Amino acid sequence: MRLLIIAVGNARGSHEGALGEDFTGRARAMGKQLGFSAVSVEEVAVSKLREARARIAEEGERLARRIPEGAHVILLDARGKGMTSEAFAEMLAAMRDAGARDLVFVIGGPDGLDLGPSIKAGRSLAFGPQTWPHMLVRAMLSEQIYRAFTILAGHPYHRA
């Protein structure tokens, strides 16, 4: 199964981007042994439109165009449901074992996220009830993917 993070904004050169790339690289290396053929990140540009709703809509269209046909979609959203790291790992393994080809995590920009009616998300995921900066969410998601892989592999990184 391929894992793809599609996110608004350019993280290159930022501390959050470096942290996210570190964990994405670790996940990429470990995931191949666990049946996850790819772990990648794609970025779409932040909209420069004046009104927030128009920015959200434009960014949503850009994000939606990057989602592979038939992919299972999970939105990162403060209003989503939280999961333990163990439950997250179990979800990834269950989807892999069920034969899912692509799992896409979508992270909106500073104004929010709306993919429009053409994309149906399988779930919304939150990292707690707080609102997090979208660049930090990307790093946190990369770490949780790596952590999930270590849980599935029985690696000592996860000590809970």
Per-residue three-class SS string for 6-75: EEECCCCCCHHHHHHHHHHHHHHHHHHHHCCCEEEEEEECCCCCCCHHHHHHHHHHHHHHHCCCCCEEEE
The string of DSSP codes covering 116-152 is -TT---SEEE-SSSS---HHHHHHHHHHHHHHHHHHH
Question: For the domain bounded by 2-153, which CATH number is listed?
Answer: 3.40.1280.10
Query: pLDDT tens-digit profile of 64-92?
Result: 999 999 999 999 988 889 999 999 999 99
Distance separating the N- and C-terminal Cα atoms of the chain: 26
**160 pLDDT tier (thresholds 50, 70, 90):** low
Query: pLDDT tens-digit profile of 112-143?
Result: 888 877 778 889 999 988 888 888 999 999 99
What are the domain boundaries of the chain?
2-153
Average pLDDT over residues 101-117: 89
Q: Is 77 helix (H, G, I), strand (E, B) or coil?
A: strand
